[in-house]
Structure 1
Protein backbone atom coordinates (compact mmCIF):
# COMPACT_ATOMS: atom_id res chain seq x y z
CA UNK A 1 0.00 0.00 0.00
CA UNK A 2 1.37 3.40 -0.97
CA UNK A 3 1.45 6.62 0.93
CA UNK A 4 -2.20 7.70 1.12
CA UNK A 5 -1.29 11.35 1.69
CA UNK A 6 0.88 11.29 -1.42
CA UNK A 7 -1.99 9.80 -3.44
CA UNK A 8 -4.41 12.45 -2.17
CA UNK A 9 -1.96 15.21 -3.07
CA UNK A 10 -1.41 13.82 -6.57
CA UNK A 11 -5.15 13.50 -7.18
CA UNK A 12 -5.81 17.03 -5.90
CA UNK A 13 -3.14 18.48 -8.20
CA UNK A 14 -4.56 16.58 -11.16
CA UNK A 15 -8.07 17.88 -10.38
CA UNK A 16 -6.75 21.43 -10.08
CA UNK A 17 -5.05 21.13 -13.47
CA UNK A 18 -8.23 19.81 -15.07
CA UNK A 19 -10.34 22.55 -13.50
CA UNK A 20 -7.91 25.27 -14.56
CA UNK A 21 -7.84 23.95 -18.13
CA UNK A 22 -11.63 23.96 -18.35
CA UNK A 23 -11.96 27.38 -16.70
CA UNK A 24 -13.96 25.99 -13.79
CA UNK A 25 -15.03 28.74 -11.36
CA UNK A 26 -13.92 26.74 -8.28
CA UNK A 27 -10.35 26.30 -9.46
CA UNK A 28 -8.92 28.44 -6.65
CA UNK A 29 -10.69 26.31 -4.04
CA UNK A 30 -9.19 23.17 -5.58
CA UNK A 31 -5.77 24.82 -5.64
CA UNK A 32 -6.15 25.41 -1.89
CA UNK A 33 -7.13 21.77 -1.36
CA UNK A 34 -4.08 20.68 -3.33
CA UNK A 35 -1.78 22.94 -1.30
CA UNK A 36 -3.13 21.49 1.95
CA UNK A 37 -2.74 17.94 0.67
CA UNK A 38 0.79 18.64 -0.51
CA UNK A 39 1.71 20.00 2.89
CA UNK A 40 0.29 16.96 4.70
CA UNK A 41 1.93 14.55 2.27
CA UNK A 42 5.36 16.13 2.49
CA UNK A 43 5.74 15.24 6.17
CA UNK A 44 4.88 11.56 5.54
CA UNK A 45 6.93 10.98 2.38
CA UNK A 46 10.12 9.31 1.30
CA UNK A 47 12.86 11.27 -0.45
CA UNK A 48 11.64 10.15 -3.87
CA UNK A 49 8.07 11.14 -3.03
CA UNK A 50 9.27 14.52 -1.76
CA UNK A 51 10.91 15.18 -5.13
CA UNK A 52 7.64 14.43 -6.91
CA UNK A 53 5.67 16.52 -4.39
CA UNK A 54 8.01 19.44 -5.07
CA UNK A 55 7.19 19.08 -8.76
CA UNK A 56 3.46 19.04 -7.95
CA UNK A 57 3.90 22.13 -5.80
CA UNK A 58 5.49 23.97 -8.73
CA UNK A 59 2.48 23.04 -10.88
CA UNK A 60 0.10 24.36 -8.23
CA UNK A 61 2.08 27.57 -7.83
CA UNK A 62 1.85 28.16 -11.58
CA UNK A 63 -1.89 27.44 -11.57
CA UNK A 64 -2.34 29.78 -8.62
CA UNK A 65 -0.43 32.51 -10.43
CA UNK A 66 -2.53 32.04 -13.56
CA UNK A 67 -5.77 32.03 -11.55
CA UNK A 68 -4.86 35.25 -9.77
CA UNK A 69 -4.14 36.99 -13.09
CA UNK A 70 -7.46 36.12 -14.73
CA UNK A 71 -9.90 38.98 -15.13
CA UNK A 72 -13.20 38.65 -13.30
Structure 2
Protein backbone atom coordinates (compact mmCIF):
# COMPACT_ATOMS: atom_id res chain seq x y z
CA UNK A 1 0.00 0.00 0.00
CA UNK A 2 2.81 2.41 0.87
CA UNK A 3 4.38 1.81 -2.55
CA UNK A 4 1.10 2.67 -4.26
CA UNK A 5 0.86 5.92 -2.28
CA UNK A 6 4.42 6.84 -3.27
CA UNK A 7 3.62 6.18 -6.94
CA UNK A 8 0.55 8.42 -6.76
CA UNK A 9 2.46 11.27 -5.06
CA UNK A 10 5.11 11.20 -7.82
CA UNK A 11 2.54 11.20 -10.60
CA UNK A 12 3.36 13.75 -13.29
CA UNK A 13 0.51 16.05 -14.21
CA UNK A 14 0.01 18.24 -17.25
CA UNK A 15 -0.61 21.96 -16.82
CA UNK A 16 -4.30 21.45 -17.64
CA UNK A 17 -4.62 18.66 -15.05
CA UNK A 18 -2.85 20.80 -12.47
CA UNK A 19 -5.04 23.80 -13.20
CA UNK A 20 -8.14 21.64 -12.77
CA UNK A 21 -6.90 20.41 -9.38
CA UNK A 22 -6.21 24.00 -8.32
CA UNK A 23 -9.54 25.24 -9.66
CA UNK A 24 -7.98 27.83 -11.96
CA UNK A 25 -7.67 28.37 -15.70
CA UNK A 26 -4.58 26.84 -17.31
CA UNK A 27 -3.76 30.34 -18.61
CA UNK A 28 -3.52 31.50 -14.99
CA UNK A 29 -1.10 28.67 -14.26
CA UNK A 30 1.01 29.70 -17.28
CA UNK A 31 1.06 33.30 -16.01
CA UNK A 32 2.12 32.07 -12.56
CA UNK A 33 5.01 30.14 -14.15
CA UNK A 34 6.17 33.31 -15.90
CA UNK A 35 5.91 35.20 -12.60
CA UNK A 36 7.72 32.39 -10.73
CA UNK A 37 4.63 31.73 -8.60
CA UNK A 38 2.56 28.63 -7.97
CA UNK A 39 3.68 25.04 -7.54
CA UNK A 40 7.12 23.83 -8.61
CA UNK A 41 7.22 22.52 -12.17
CA UNK A 42 9.62 20.81 -14.51
CA UNK A 43 10.17 20.97 -18.24
CA UNK A 44 11.25 18.08 -20.43
CA UNK A 45 11.71 19.31 -23.96
CA UNK A 46 8.61 21.34 -24.71
CA UNK A 47 6.47 19.62 -22.07
CA UNK A 48 5.64 21.25 -18.74
CA UNK A 49 4.83 18.81 -15.94
CA UNK A 50 3.97 19.09 -12.26
CA UNK A 51 4.69 16.40 -9.70
CA UNK A 52 1.55 15.66 -7.71
CA UNK A 53 3.61 15.81 -4.51
CA UNK A 54 4.80 19.35 -5.39
CA UNK A 55 1.24 20.49 -6.08
CA UNK A 56 0.05 19.01 -2.78
CA UNK A 57 2.96 20.63 -0.91
CA UNK A 58 2.22 24.00 -2.51
CA UNK A 59 -1.45 23.72 -1.57
CA UNK A 60 -0.47 22.85 1.99
CA UNK A 61 1.92 25.81 2.22
CA UNK A 62 -0.73 28.10 0.72
CA UNK A 63 -3.30 26.95 3.31
CA UNK A 64 -0.88 27.65 6.16
CA UNK A 65 -0.19 31.17 4.86
CA UNK A 66 -3.91 32.02 4.74
TM-score (norm 1): 0.29
Q: Which has the higher contact order (CA 8 A, sep 6+)?
A: 1
TM-score (norm 2): 0.31
Say which structure is richer in helix: 1
